[in-house]
Every structure is written in structure tokens, then in C-alpha cells.
Structure 1
Amino acid sequence: MTSETSTYQPVTACRSPALTGTVNVPGDKSISHRSLILGSLAAGETHVTGLLEGEDVLRTAAAMRALGADVFKDAAGVWHIFGRGVGALSEPDGVLDMGNSGTAARLLMGLVASCPFTTFFCGDESLHKRPMGRIALPITEMGAKITSRSEGRFPLAVTGNQLMPIDYELPVASAQVKSAIMLAALDTPGVTRIVEPRPSRDHTENMLRHFGAEVTVTALENGSREIMLCGQQELTPTHIIVPGDPSSAAFLVVAAAIIPGSDITILNVGLNPLRDGLFETLVEMGADLDVLNVRTEAGERVGDLHVKGGPLKGIEVPASRAPSMIDEYPVLFVAAAFATGKTVMKGLRELRVKESDRLATMAVGLKACGVSLEELEDGLIIDGTGTAPSGGGTVSTELDHRIAMSFLILGLATEQPVTVDDGQVMETSFPGFVQLLESLGGQFSQGPHA
């Protein structure tokens, strides 16, 4: 059971003139996943505008339909979700194919753990390599049964049960593990308590409140955080406006920062304080980045980003910041390649179990493009010269969308073009990535460089 892998489609990025213009980026992937899942648990109709229509999120929409919700998009682009209510999902007729989406896989494993049936999951080649044991452990402690390959890898089956509440301390900060437990707890009687060692992104907590649920979050003295959720609450249908994804905006921000003379504005970007670590880091590196028009929408902080090109300097990035920017490190590695001096980035073991081993894959590709670096077990040290690296490499994406986009950003500013072996993988999170950058002045070609 494996979803099909598309034929590879190489894309090349070439040294580009200054980027200019004002744009929007696609909707936040994390919020889009959660709006579909929680909308399907609210009894009635939920409306979602700005939903990310990338392959990962569309896998979640298909899964929620298979579990009994009515999910569709109207002619105006608004998504409608007619939910079943907490505890009222139905057994799917077939296997839930998660494609490349680790987020969808992990959240839905938690969701179906309390359902009185067996749910079968599969994914693509990349997802089948990713360990799911961190999700399996707490939900089996709650009473579900999981049958899988070694280390909890896909394909697998979750047999739901009437669960018991759990008091669980996360070994590492993980929004996906935390969210899976919370989704399992929604139809579990009693109070489930989760302690995370450091705050991780809190979109699930925010969105549960937006649907009317009571979630208590308490900061503890040692820097950890306690989340308390009482099960068997009803969710109230609502309207959700999905902000632009900060992880997608990160690529445009770095592109503008490393290309001299650039001046761009990105509108309506989500600025959740647990997601904005990259922007904070770039400012510390000297980037000309301003946040404008800050407001709150659907419980999330939103604003506009104005960034200009200019010199960057190497810094030591605090390891404690990693949970707030874990998905943005690949493109931060690119920014560091243009900075003057060493940029030290540690505490990143999580990157070795993403869609690919992002530390190893980025290190290999950056070296092939003339970047001086040292690969650590838990990070990278990049020694920038303040000038553009040579480029000229052809990079294997390892079926990882963020690897592909990061190296295309690199190629917009290197001396020689940079090619990624497959641009199709970018559709999982950022449909229209190349076209949007072309609208700002970015130079690309299909296929390998000559």
C-alpha cells in the first residue's frame, strides 16, 4: 500500500535581478489541516476561507470525507464542512492515503484512536520511512491498538477503543504528538493532561477554543507548559479565515534578503509567536525586515511583512528557538550561506526525521553549491563569506518540498544556476511557488541547467 510517486520534473533557478512587488502566500498548512479536522467534528456547517489547497491538505480533506464529513469548495473558493459531531465519525470504506503529509498522518492517527473501528493508513515512499512511534506510544497507552511495521512505520492500522484519559509528559516538544493526543482526548471521558518541555506551536489549542472548547494552558516554572483538556465537549461550527503560511512566506523573505536591491511586501501572514522564530533570527542577522498592520484573526496573530535586500551577518541561533522555526531551518541555512561569518545552528535532531533527513540533505546540496559548512549530529555550522556562493549544483530533493524550495531560493542569488531534481514535490505545501516568485522577478527554467 503506497501512494504513487510522480515522474521527476527538474527545475532550475538562475541569478535574478532585485525582487519587487506585493503578494500573498498560500494559506497556513497547519491551520488548514486543523480547520478540516475540527470542522468535521463540529455538528453543523463550518466555512473556511483561504484554505491551503496543496496536496497535503487535500489529503486531509479526502480523509475527512472518507470518515463521514461532507467537505467541498464552492464556486467562490470558500470551503464548506458539514461536520458529524464529536464521536460520530464513520468507518472508511478504504485505506486513508496520506501521500507525503506527516502532519495529516499523525493528527488523524490520534483522531481515529477513539473511534469504534479499524482505520488503515498508507502514504508515499517518503512517508513510509518516517517513524510514527512517538504518536503510537501515547495513544496505545490511552487504549487504542496499532499494528504497523517496525518503529511504527506506515502502512499501519489503528483500531479504536473507548479510551482512558492520560497524564503524559512529552519527551521532546512536538506539536504533532501533542495534537494527536488532544484529538484522541476529545471523545475520551475525563481530563487529559499533557506537559511539553518547551512550548511548541499551539494552533490546535487556539482552534479548539475558536470552536468553543475549553482548553487550559499553564506555563510552569521550569519553562515547560501544561495543557488540560476535558473530553466529550461539543464543538460549535464556526467561520475560519486561514492566514498566509509563515513557513511559505519564509522562502520569499529570505529570497528578498539575499538579493541586493530587493523590496517586497507579503500580506496577511500568520505571526503566531510560536511560529515566528525565523523572522526574529533574520532580524538578529541584520535583515531589513519590518512587521506591519498587526491584528488578530480567528485567534491567530496576523500581519504584513516588508523586507529589503541587504547584508547579513553570522550569529549563533539559540537552540531553544528551534520549536518555533523547525520547518524554516532549511531556508535559514540558505540565508546563512550569504552572511558574513559563522552561523551556528544546533538542537535540530528533529530535522533528521522529517520528510527527509534535512540536515544531511541540505549539507550535501550546499557543499555541492560551494558553501563551506560543518555538519553536526544536531545541526549545521555554516561559514559564510558575505558574497554569493558559486552555485552550479544539481540537488536531490529526497521527495521533500522544503528542500526543493530552499535550493531554488539559493539559485536565485548564486553565481551559477542551481537545479533541483524534482519541482513537483513543492505542490504539497506551496502550489504556484515558481510562478509567484516569477511575478516578483525571479528567474527559473524547467529542466536541468545547461
Structure 2
Amino acid sequence: MTLEISPVATLQGDLRPPSDKSLTHRAYMFASIADGDSVVRMPLRGEDCESTLHCLIQLGLRHEWMSPSEIRLVPPREWQVPRGDLDCGNSGTTMRLMSGLLASRPLDVTLVGDASLSRRPMQRIAEPLRMMGATVEGDTAPLHIVGGQLRGIDYVSPVASAQIKSCVLLAGLGAEGVTSVREPSPSRDHTERMLRATGVRIEQNGAVSLAGGQRPHGFEITIPADISSAAFFLVAAAMLPQSSLAIHDLSMNPTRTGILDVLRQCGVPYELLGEREELGEPVSTLEIRAPKFLKPFEISGSLVPRLIDEIPVLAVLATQCEGTSVIRDARELRVKETDRIETVSTGLRAMGAEVETFEDGLAITGPTKLKAAQIDAAGDHRIGMAFAIAGLISDGGVKIDNAESIATSYPGFTDDLMRLAII
């Protein structure tokens, strides 16, 4: 699919972005191991989360759609052997977290994915699961897992990764003894918050620890909106003069709000209103306005895990900042759906931007009037959406090839963009 985006004058209006993908994945998985029924409202209906739901149904999870936006989930007494391979599609979250759940159960299962997911590294979760006693064959998909009786470990993760941490903790729920995970810097804590909110006892003191043999209680949750999806509109509003947006029901988990730190560096005014909680997760409305000019920013160190998925669109923002913006310590970008460092830099250079690349990041000097270009999203949803935002401020728009992957996380992206845009 080729997506064509024309330049616009400004963005105005109200937005409720898609529900949080990470929370939808976890809600489905927690419901599959809970001690009672659960209800999930406003789940993300994108392809990645559907992959998680379909895998769990094959393992015995029963479900009933009460309405198009509300699903009741009934956990199986015992997980069943699926009739075939579990297809994780393009979803790294599905494959990595599901591996943790499967490892503690007496099942022989193979996890597969599409061509992109099959290139992504899985050794990072296979290693701790093997240390716990599971049989895991493959360091990339397909992963063949033979689960069984696990023992708790004290695992020191080489990288700050919520997927690694969550995989090990979910395996630890079914392990003997205590399982702990230590990271070089804090990663997203959705799993810890949901564990605590559903009655699982965890300790956090330099490591995240839990004792095996615990089960989450059944729960109800209305999934808040995803800040990673909102990021594209936050950046667009910051770059387009006179823009003013109100973004509602937004997940404000502090391990995910690094983009707000960057907006502050750039001098972008915003305000949080109506703060509340949803199953341990803070939620707010965010109002944002375009500044008179944009100051350059720096991203490195502990800030990186808090905005790793937003870096492609923040690179677009950097092209409009007055000076050089620098992104370092983001080597993880090279093993996402694409090598995002190279994909972003190639696309921005094609649009006339001044970009220097490093092994772990980028330096971008602006402001630059971006020119029209044809961009290959390479099947990466965040690349596709990032360059759609770049097209809004270009002198002739962009054509984005292989943009169908946008539907994996934001099926209504183009419709929302056109609704808010003023030509």
C-alpha cells in the first residue's frame, strides 16, 4: 500500500488515539492466567494485539465480545496444546511475553512470526528461560519451547527492556522460589503495575522480584490511549504553526513519558488535566500548542527506554529545531521491525535533512524545509507514520510505500490526521 500525504497549515481539535498496545497485550495475557473472569474495555483492535488474543484462544482462553469495544475473558483451568504453531504475526511483544507464560507449563509449542519478526533477536529471552529450566530452541523465530517445572533466578539483564523483564517475571509466576530481574536502567513498568493491581505481591528494591505460585485476580480495565500513538500528533502540533490539540484518556505512565521531557527541552507548551488511574496506570488529558520556535534537544542514557518507540518521529521534529539535536545510546533501534537508525536517516536525507548517523543514534541539524520525496516504510508502522508527519511540513508532500503496517498499531491513523488537518 502506498500512502500519500500532502502538506497542511495547522492541526486543530480533539483526539482520542488508539488504546495502549502494551496494556492490551498484558490485559489479555493476565486474563489468561487469572483466578477468575476479566473484562477488558476499549482494547486495541490492531493486528499485533489480535495476534496475542488468537494465540491465547488456541491455548484455551474463552472469550465473548459483549460489544465491539468490550470483551469478557474466561481463563482455562489448564492450558491446552494448540493444534498447530502459535502465529505471533509481527508482534515482538506477543512472542517474548508469551514465551514466559509457556515456559512454566508442561506444553510443547512452537511460536512463529512473519518475515520481519523472524529476523528479530529472541536469544535475549531464550537465555533466561533456559537458565530457569525451560527448553527453548532457536535464538530467532521460530521458537520451539518445551515448558515444565522452572526454578526462580536472579537475572541481570544486559539491556533495559520491558519485554525481557516481563517475560522472566511471567515465567517466575509459575516457578519455584523467587524470581528477580535487574536492569541497567528502569524500563517500562506496565507489567509491575498490573501485577500489583491484580493482587500479585512484588518487591522493587534495585530489582523487581516475585515469589512463584501466585495468580492474578480477575479484573476489569478500560485501556487508556497510547502515548506512542499520540506522539505523532504531539510532534505534528509542535511543528505546525498555530496548532492546538487536546488528546484525551492518555496513558501517562512515567516510564513511557520521555517524549514530554523532549517537548520541554524544545520549549513546547503543554498541560495535563483530569488525572486519574486505571488498574494502577495514571491517565490524563493532554493539551498542547505550537511554540514560536523549537530549541534543539538531546536524548541519551536513562531517557532512551522511556521513548524508544518515539525516536523515529522525534527525528522528524529535530529537522525543525534551531540547532543540532543529538540522539545517543539508542542501539536498540537497529533491531526493531527495521534498522530504524538507517531507515530514518535514509528517508530524512531524501527529504533534504542534514543527518549524521552513529552506531547508537543520530545527530540532526535544523531547521530544514523538507522537500517532497517517496519513502519506503519497509513494513515498519512507526517509520510509516513518522514520515507521514514529515509530509505535513514538506514543500510537496510524501508518498510512503509499504505503509500497510500502520494498521498493526493505529488502524485509523490517516483518518484522524485528515480530520484534524487544516489546509
Q: What residue in structure 2 maps to residue 196 of structure 1?
A: 183
Match of 2:298 among 298, 312, 316: 316
Match of 2:98 among 108, 117, 122: 108
1:67 and 1:76 mapped to 2: Cα distance? Answer: 23
1:359 and 1:72 mapped to 2: Cα distance? Answer: 42
Residue 260 of structure 1 pairs with residue 241 of structure 2: yes
1:44 and 1:358 mapped to 2: Cα distance? Answer: 41
- SS of the residue aligned with 1:89? coil
| Counterpart AA for 1:168 | Y
Task: Encode CA deviations 1:293-329: one digit per residue, 9 max, x unaligned.
Answer: 2222210111111111232111222332001111110
| CA deviation after TM superposition for structure 1 residue 286, in Å | 1.1
Preserved CA contact (<8 Å) 2:379 2:403: no
Residue 408 of structure 1 pairs with residue 388 of structure 2: yes
| CA deviation after TM superposition for structure 1 residue 171, in Å | 0.9
Preserved CA contact (<8 Å) 1:130 1:353: yes
TM-score, reference length from structure 2: 0.98
Which residues of structure 1 form unaligned runs of 5+? Answer: 1-8, 219-224, 444-450
Preserved CA contact (<8 Å) 1:42 1:84: no
1:65 and 1:180 mapped to 2: Cα distance? Answer: 19
Task: Encode CA deviations 1:133-171: one digit per residue, 9 max, x unaligned.
Answer: 0000000110111122xxx11112111121111111111
2:200 and 2:422 mapped to 1: Cα distance? Answer: 44
Match of 1:245 among 226, 232, 238: 226
Preserved CA contact (<8 Å) 2:319 2:366: yes
| Counterpart AA for 1:184 | A
Task: Encode CA deviations 1:14-44: one digit per residue, 9 max, x unaligned.
Answer: 1112111111011101000000000110132
Preserved CA contact (<8 Å) 2:12 2:422: no
Preserved CA contact (<8 Å) 2:136 2:146: yes
Match of 1:211 among 170, 195, 198: 198
Preserved CA contact (<8 Å) 2:175 2:213: yes
1:408 and 1:118 mapped to 2: Cα distance? Answer: 43
Q: What residue in structure 2 maps to residue 340 of structure 1?
A: 322
Q: What residue in structure 2 maps to residue 126 of structure 1?
A: 116
Match of 2:379 among 399, 421, 438: 399
Preserved CA contact (<8 Å) 2:169 2:180: no
Task: Encode CA deviations 1:378-404: one digit per residue, 9 max, x unaligned.
Answer: 00000012x5322x1111112110000
Task: Encode CA deviations 1:166-197: one digit per residue, 9 max, x unaligned.
Answer: 11111111100000001111111211111111
Mapping for residues 276-287 of structure 1, pairs under 5 Å: 276-287=257-268
Task: Encode CA deviations 1:410-443: one digit per residue, 9 max, x unaligned.
Answer: 1011112111102210010111100011110267
- SS of the residue aligned with 1:44? coil
Preserved CA contact (<8 Å) 1:312 1:340: yes
Q: What residue in structure 1 maps to residue 136 of structure 2?
A: 146
Q: What residue in structure 2 maps to residue 381 of structure 1?
A: 363
- SS of the residue aligned with 2:370? coil
Match of 1:293 among 244, 250, 274: 274
Match of 1:273 among 254, 260, 266: 254
| CA deviation after TM superposition for structure 1 residue 289, in Å | 2.0
Residue 330 of structure 1 pairs with residue 320 of structure 2: no
| Counterpart AA for 1:64 | L
Which residues of structure 2 form unaligned runs of 5+? Answer: none
TM-score, reference length from structure 1: 0.92
Q: What residue in structure 1 maps to residue 413 of structure 2?
A: 433
2:26 and 2:298 mapped to 1: Cα distance? Answer: 33
2:86 and 2:127 mapped to 1: Cα distance? Answer: 21
What is the aligned-residue RMSD (CA, Å)? 1.2
Instruction: Determine what percentage of the aligned residue pairs are the same residue.
Output: 40
Preserved CA contact (<8 Å) 2:347 2:375: yes
Q: What residue in structure 1 maps to residue 209 of structure 2?
A: 228
Preserved CA contact (<8 Å) 1:343 1:382: yes
1:356 and 1:102 mapped to 2: Cα distance? Answer: 12
Preserved CA contact (<8 Å) 1:64 1:71: no
- SS of the residue aligned with 1:322? helix
Q: What residue in structure 1 maps to residue 47 of structure 2?
A: 55
Match of 1:361 among 331, 337, 343: 343
1:217 and 1:78 mapped to 2: Cα distance? Answer: 33
| CA deviation after TM superposition for structure 1 residue 57, in Å | 0.2
Task: Encode CA deviations 1:110-133: one digit per residue, 9 max, x unaligned.
Answer: 110111111111111110111100
Match of 1:84 among 65, 72, 76: 76
Preserved CA contact (<8 Å) 2:32 2:74: yes
Preserved CA contact (<8 Å) 1:345 1:379: yes
2:126 and 2:88 mapped to 1: Cα distance? Answer: 17
1:233 and 1:290 mapped to 2: Cα distance? Answer: 40
2:50 and 2:243 mapped to 1: Cα distance? Answer: 34
1:302 and 1:363 mapped to 2: Cα distance? Answer: 33
1:137 and 1:307 mapped to 2: Cα distance? Answer: 43
Runs of 4+ aligned structure 1 residues displaced above 4 Å come to none
| CA deviation after TM superposition for structure 1 residue 73, in Å | 2.0
| CA deviation after TM superposition for structure 1 residue 99, in Å | 0.8
Q: What residue in structure 1 maps to residue 167 of structure 2?
A: 180
| CA deviation after TM superposition for structure 1 residue 76, in Å | 5.1
| Counterpart AA for 1:424 | E
| CA deviation after TM superposition for structure 1 residue 92, in Å | 1.0
| CA deviation after TM superposition for structure 1 residue 72, in Å | 3.4
| Counterpart AA for 1:139 | L
Residue 73 of structure 1 pairs with residue 99 of structure 2: no
- SS of the residue aligned with 2:378? coil
1:112 and 1:316 mapped to 2: Cα distance? Answer: 40
Match of 2:333 among 351, 373, 376: 351
Residue 36 of structure 1 pairs with residue 18 of structure 2: no
Preserved CA contact (<8 Å) 1:72 1:80: yes
Residue 16 of structure 1 pairs with residue 8 of structure 2: yes
| CA deviation after TM superposition for structure 1 residue 263, in Å | 0.8
1:258 and 1:72 mapped to 2: Cα distance? Answer: 43
Are residues 72 and 366 of structure 1, via their aligned partners in 2, closer, same or farther at CA, if it must alter by over 3 Å? farther
| Counterpart AA for 2:321 | A
